[in-house]
Structure 1
Amino acid sequence: MLMARPSWAGRNYLLLTGATVIAGLGSSGALIATAFAVLAAGGTATDVGLVAAARTIPLVLFLLIGGTVADRLPRHRVMVAANALNCASQGLFALLVLTGEPRLWHMAVLAALGGTGQAFFAPAAEGMVLASVSGEQSGRAFAVFRMGMNGANIGGAALGGALVAAVGPGWVLAVDSASFALAGALRAFLDVSEVPARTPGGGLLHDLRDGWREVASRTWLWAVVVQFALVNGLLSAAESVYGPLVAEQHLGGAGPWGLALAAFGAGTVGGALLMTRYQPRRLLLTGTLCVFPLALPSAALAIPLPAAGLAAIMFGTGITVEIFSVTWMMALHQEIPEEKFSRVSSYDWFGSLAMVPVATALAGPAQDLIGRTAALWSCAVLITLLTAAVLCVPDIRRLTRRPPDATTPPPPQSRADNARPTRA
């Protein structure tokens, strides 16, 4: 018997969720396929890193512009255009791999186009799901959305790895291109008739400054953005650089490390499932407390714990980071004016990604300077201290979930009022 559709799962919500699941299935497998495509063409590990960097650099560079564009144009059109760019770039990538030996610069350029598309897509998509639901069920709706997204990422990675081994990376890239086409088609059918028409602002730089004022005028917002700029960098160094090395030398190789990463993914699904039932009143206090466990994987690698212990910690960390993700998005949706949401989101994304390439580049020299164990313990300690510092911000502890009839953000305050918006 089919389950009845929840009352809050309207047409737009279902379209957005379906599109995200489809795109996630394709993209997760494509990340694996890209690396093996580089290796199959005779590339080295350094070449794999260069292609990955070619995607990340334009993603970081264009995020702020993407946010301003999404606040000036209908967001669903920006999302569809970004999906079309990703579809074309991945389709050409697949064609090159299937028909011959692509050169390194070919793959780097196509990866850069994919990163550019993501830079425009991410700020436009942020908050769209919450805008499609209203009232007290919004938290549950977003948690269900996250559960589908995380499940697609896990399933896509597993399926993509199997398909790369069975039919080669070119076909997996072709599937990713098709998934972007289908996701873009679904998003094109979003009903935006009730969304107010956007009036042009005072230019790109004006919109960037306006978005920055929104961020700087809220202490809780910029504090968490700065926190995660550093935390994400530390996590990337620990898990992208040190983790595989520890696994190779102490845990038995890639298999146990893959199991640990899969456990983290399973934990994010569990966390999303939990948030369909749990609706904390103090959004940011709950979310920030759930950031402390992010220090545990680095500590586990520093010891190092056996593979089973590491997997258990990664599973628990996945649960807590998903609780933070849901409470953070709920806070943004509640507090940020809708017409400026994408600009604010772009600064959030920029902060989350800006330090990742720097931290991963410095991970090797740090290991040479103080040793891997000390570097991992340093990651764990710094994550703990950064999170404790954020808890000292009064607005982090005070911001509460407003009742459904009071979800409209307060009007922007002047700089003289400093960064403390009125709280309900």
Structure 2
Amino acid sequence: MVSLTRNRPYRLYWTGQVLSQLGSDISVVALAFAVFAVGGGPGSLGLVLAARMIPQPLLAVVGGAAAYRTSTERVMVSAHLVSGLAQSAAVVLLLSGTGQVWHLALLALVTGAANGFFVPAQQSVVPQIVGPELRQQANALVRFPQNASKMAGRAVGGVVVAFAGPGWAIACDALSFFGAALLLSRVGVPLLRKEDAEQTKVLSDVIEGWRVFKSRRWLWVMVLQNAVALMVWLASAQVMGPVYANEELGGPRSWGLAVTALAAGLAAGSAVAVAWRPRRAGPLICGCVATMALPVAVMATHGQLAVLSLAMLIAGAGVDTAMVTWTGLMQESVPVEELSRVLSFSNVGPLVLVPLGYVLVGPAVEAVGLNVALGLSAATILAVAAAPLMLDDVRALSRRPVEIRTGEAAVA
């Protein structure tokens, strides 16, 4: 742990990630109520969220290749600057009273495009700046303060939205993007490109990433599981959840408390992952995915805020434990020079179905009602959580033991 604090590239990367996450968590509650404030409903919110997600799977593959061919650092910084400008435009529209749903959808499209480049680059940084014996702690330590910020950020976001309006919450997010871009520009991530990469095509890099991705059955099966579970979870938590809060919990302040409980669970999962390195990764990840059904089921059965908050806490702990375990598994299983390209495909899978969920959730609520739609969502999450365990290679999926090295630098 002391070695990580002495690692300057990691400190800058860690601080930039936390700052960006804090701003995003302040504004995450604001987006739904920004849509409601400009006259939209559940269908409009689904449209805005879909607009943010649609570019991500389309551009993530290119983003992974770009990080390999140019610079991981350059891709991350550029993505943050574009996102900051898009959020700034949203602030101007909302505070001036001229914002409309299509404005928010267009700016969400820009932010999603930037994120499509950012995610595969960001996920490949730790193996480049931290030695293998410290990567589990490094991954967990990045996520722990990010998740802790969600407790404060989302609670503050709910209060700011309730008393000042969503525009001011989104302004915090814009500033955080610019600050994070400055920090990430100083990390100094080494180039991954080989000496002969200039003679290759971007398409060749994409094809190579796909070849490695499809060669591991456990990888694409688990990505498919995550794709379906994430689609249903985000449609439930980000669209039906705010509607449920408006109808049964009293509005944004109550929903802010519920998502704060989710953030507390995420932070707890990160704290556990700092010291705990589970060996049986496949069954653990599947069990953690199943916890996502809990808060959805609570809302389906008209649960009150206290019960919903407890379910959110459990789900958050499960989700973050799964994510840290999955990140470590990927970093162990894929060579670092191939990681950004393979991660682009593993990120495409979970994102590709999410816009469909956002678009369909509005008509589904109108057709069967809010609570029935939530109940069907909970059942779907449980089913897809259990499905991969039918395969032997998923049940046997495990982490390698750490080999502690002495006399070597912490920086890879």
TM-score (norm 1): 0.84
213 and 165 in structure 1: CA distance in 2 versus 1, 3 angstrom threshold = same
164 and 218 in structure 1: CA distance in 2 versus 1, 3 angstrom threshold = same
- Check the 8 A contact 2:68/2:191 in 1, yes or no: no
Which residue number in structure 1 is paired with residue 22 of structure 2? 25
Which residue number in structure 2 is paired with residue 217 of structure 1? 215
Q: Deviations over 1:184-207 (max 9, x none)?
A: 111111133585656247423332
Which stretch has the larger CA shift, 228-237 or 289-298? Answer: 289-298
- 1:20-419 matches, within 5 Å, as 20-34=17-31, 42-45=38-41, 47-98=44-95, 101-102=98-99, 105-164=102-161, 169-193=166-190, 197=194, 199-200=197-198, 202-248=200-246, 250-251=248-249, 254-367=252-365, 372-405=370-403
- Check the 8 A contact 1:219/1:393 in 2, yes or no: no
- Check the 8 A contact 1:284/1:327 in 2, yes or no: no
- Check the 8 A contact 1:130/1:141 in 2, yes or no: no
AA of the residue aligned to 1:12: P
Q: The residue matched to 2:275 in structure 1 has which SS?
A: coil
292 and 37 in structure 1: CA distance in 2 versus 1, 3 angstrom threshold = closer
AA of the residue aligned to 1:7: S
Q: The residue matched to 2:303 in structure 1 has which SS?
A: coil
Task: Quote the Cα distance in structure 1 between the aligned partners of 2:33 and 2:365.
Answer: 27
Q: The residue matched to 2:302 in structure 1 has which SS?
A: coil
Task: Quote the Cα distance in structure 2 between the aligned partners of 1:298 and 1:95.
Answer: 35
AA of the residue aligned to 1:116: A
AA of the residue aligned to 2:91: A
Task: Quote the Cα distance in structure 1 between the aligned partners of 2:33 and 2:296.
Answer: 28
- Check the 8 A contact 2:47/2:359 in 1, yes or no: no
17 and 373 in structure 1: CA distance in 2 versus 1, 3 angstrom threshold = same
Structure 1 residue 8 corresponds to structure 2 residue 7? no
> Shift of the alpha carbon at 1:16?
0.9
Q: Deviations over 1:253-296 (max 9, x none)?
A: 55544433221111111111111121112233322222222222
Task: Quote the Cα distance in structure 2 between the aligned partners of 1:241 and 1:93.
Answer: 20
394 and 272 in structure 1: CA distance in 2 versus 1, 3 angstrom threshold = same
Task: Quote the Cα distance in structure 1 between the aligned partners of 2:105 and 2:323.
Answer: 31
Task: Quote the Cα distance in structure 1 between the aligned partners of 2:279 and 2:398.
Answer: 5
Task: Quote the Cα distance in structure 1 between the aligned partners of 2:103 and 2:282.
Answer: 44
- Check the 8 A contact 2:51/2:106 in 1, yes or no: yes
- Check the 8 A contact 1:30/1:160 in 2, yes or no: yes
Which stretch has the larger CA shift, 148-157 or 189-198? Answer: 189-198
Task: Quote the Cα distance in structure 1 between the aligned partners of 2:365 and 2:90.
Answer: 36
Q: Deviations over 1:323-354 (max 9, x none)?
A: 10110000000111222212222222222122
> Shift of the alpha carbon at 1:221?
0.5
274 and 206 in structure 1: CA distance in 2 versus 1, 3 angstrom threshold = same
Q: The residue matched to 2:188 in structure 1 has which SS?
A: coil
Task: Quote the Cα distance in structure 1 between the aligned partners of 2:245 and 2:92.
Answer: 35
Indicate the structure whose relative CO is greater, using CA pairs within 8 Å and at least 6 residues apart. Answer: 2
Q: The residue matched to 2:3 in structure 1 has which SS?
A: coil
11 and 247 in structure 1: CA distance in 2 versus 1, 3 angstrom threshold = same
- Check the 8 A contact 1:146/1:272 in 2, yes or no: yes
111 and 359 in structure 1: CA distance in 2 versus 1, 3 angstrom threshold = closer
AA of the residue aligned to 1:293: T
Flag the structure with larger Rg.
1
Task: Quote the Cα distance in structure 1 between the aligned partners of 2:224 and 2:236.
Answer: 19
- Check the 8 A contact 1:127/1:329 in 2, yes or no: no
Which stretch has the larger CA shift, 10-19 or 375-384? Answer: 375-384
276 and 368 in structure 1: CA distance in 2 versus 1, 3 angstrom threshold = same
- Check the 8 A contact 1:283/1:330 in 2, yes or no: no
Task: Quote the Cα distance in structure 2 between the aligned partners of 1:162 and 1:298.
Answer: 24
Q: Deviations over 1:143-174 (max 9, x none)?
A: 12101111223322333344455555544444
150 and 303 in structure 1: CA distance in 2 versus 1, 3 angstrom threshold = same
> Shift of the alpha carbon at 1:366?
3.9
Task: Quote the Cα distance in structure 1 between the aligned partners of 2:109 and 2:79.
Answer: 13
181 and 197 in structure 1: CA distance in 2 versus 1, 3 angstrom threshold = farther
296 and 201 in structure 1: CA distance in 2 versus 1, 3 angstrom threshold = farther
296 and 160 in structure 1: CA distance in 2 versus 1, 3 angstrom threshold = closer
Task: Quote the Cα distance in structure 1 between the aligned partners of 2:213 and 2:189.
Answer: 27
Aligned residues: 402
> Which runs of no fewer than 5 residues in structure 1 stay unpaired?
408-424
